[in-house]
Amino acid sequence: MIEIFLLRHAETIWDSSLVSGRTENLSLSDEGIVHSLSIGRILREQGFLVDKIYCSSSLRTKQSLLGLKESGLWKDTPIIYSDSLQEVSQGEWEGKERRCVMTERVIAEMRIKGVCFMPPGGEAQKDAAERIYNYIAENILNSNLQKVMVVGHANLFRCLMYRILGFHEIMINKIGFDNLSLTKLRFGEDGFWRLDYLNRIVS
């Protein structure tokens, strides 16, 4: 049995009126930095340890993980940074105002195509789901690890949940992943996935 914990990055300085996406150099807000230190202290006091950490190569996930480690958590835990864990790409839309790109025509097309919809120069949710699933299968499921942490992004985690739990695609954007929330998955020797909890606030 392998336990996999998903941790979304801390709060960023991003303007929510703009389309986000990968935006690799997006940094944490002051509140996000303080929050990551606080969560790190709580997890340390709870004795929360993992065998290995896999982290998106984006700045905001690196900063979140640094805040956790600065609290004294996971000092000697191996960390792997990977582009394969970056957020779902929104292509040419990234950084543009939502109201300008989310026209009635675009929204109608998104409803028709669902997870196969792809922004100009971007990535479909279905493709992102395969990307993160294949990475986890290759690097985690085929290892001797028992307990790992994946530090990443909300939309990518939603895609992963869609891929492994098999729910209808209409639900993919209805799943919440708050900043620095924990989600726990287990993969058994029987080849089945189990969801223990979703979007749990650390306290």
> Is 9 one of the catalytic residues?
yes
End-to-end CA distance of the chain: 26
> Is 87 one of the catalytic residues?
yes
Q: Is 60 annotated for ligand binding?
A: yes
Out of 11, 35, 87, 153, the active site residue is: 87
Active-site residues, by number, are 9, 87
Binding-site positions for substrate read: 60
Binding-site positions read: 60
